Amino acid sequence: MTNIAAKGEEDIVLKSARLLLGFFRLAVIFASVILILSLPIMAIFGQEILADVGEQFVNKPPVEVLWVAAGFVLVLLLIMLLSYFTIDRLRKILASVREGDPFNRTNGVRLRGMGIAIFAIQILTVVLGAAIGVIVSLLGSMKEGEQMTIHGEFGISLSGILLVLLLIVLARVFDRGADMRDELDGTI
């Protein structure tokens, strides 16, 4: 058992994953702070923002655009929270691998939680896509010569569904692994 843990400590894959997850965690925290700050900015400078955006459109944008944009930011914030939850769980699973005891029931619960969180992210991404659709329809037609491009994919992806399935199946594998370890622990 100790040898496996020692190997885990030196494993380049585990080390890289830990560093990468640490970076992702910081990026999610940074993005969340920006999103939280954007809400009061929208509330204070809402009219100025609308006027600025309105210059590119035929009609003056209605104030509802701000409300939908605020909702968009809130959903994005929720996605960030779920991402943080997922990254944090994965970091804890990695730590248990390093300690040499990954096949426990807690990791099964963590994996199941990650699966549910990623499923929720998939659903919220669809909500984001719908919010963009509403904003675009509220803004109406653009003035001649003006152009606006929206980048990003908003919808349920096949890889996302596969990831959710993988995590839920892995959670069951870990549950069974914990059962087997319990059995082995009781073997003399």
Tokens standing for residue 150: 């929206």
Tell which one of 48, 55, 153, 183 touches other proteins (CB under 8 A).
183
Nearer to other proteins, 12 or 184 (CB): 184
| Shortest spacing between CB 180 and other proteins, in angstroms | 11
Return the number of the residue (152 or 186) whose C-beta is nearest other proteins. Answer: 186
How many chain residues interact with other proteins (CB under 8 A)?
4
Which string of x and - marks every residue 93-132 that binds other proteins (by CB under 8 A)?
----------------------------------------
DSSP one-letter code for 63: T
- Residue 188 interacts with other proteins (CB under 8 A): yes or no: yes
38/104 with CB nearer other proteins: 104
> Is the CB of residue 80 less than 8 Å from the CB of residue 28?
yes
Nearer residue to other proteins within complex by CB, 10 or 183: 183
CA pair distance 72, 91, nearest whole angstrom: 28
Question: Minimum distance from CB of 183 to other proteins (Å)?
Answer: 6
CB of 81 closer than 8 Å to CB of 32: yes
User: What is the total residue count of the chain?
Assistant: 188
Nearest-angstrom CA–CA distance, 10 and 186: 30
187 binds other proteins (CB under 8 A): yes
Q: How far is the CB of 107 from other proteins (least distance, A)?
A: 22
Radius of gyration of the chain (CA): 23
Any contact of residue 186 with other proteins (CB under 8 A)? yes
Cα–Cα distance, 113 to 33 (Å, whole number): 24
Measure the N-to-C terminal CA separation of the chain; round to a whole number of Å.
17
Question: CB 187 → other proteins: shortest distance, Å?
Answer: 4
CA–CA dist 175, 156 (Å, integer): 28
Q: Which residues bind other proteins (CB under 8 A)?
A: 183, 186-188
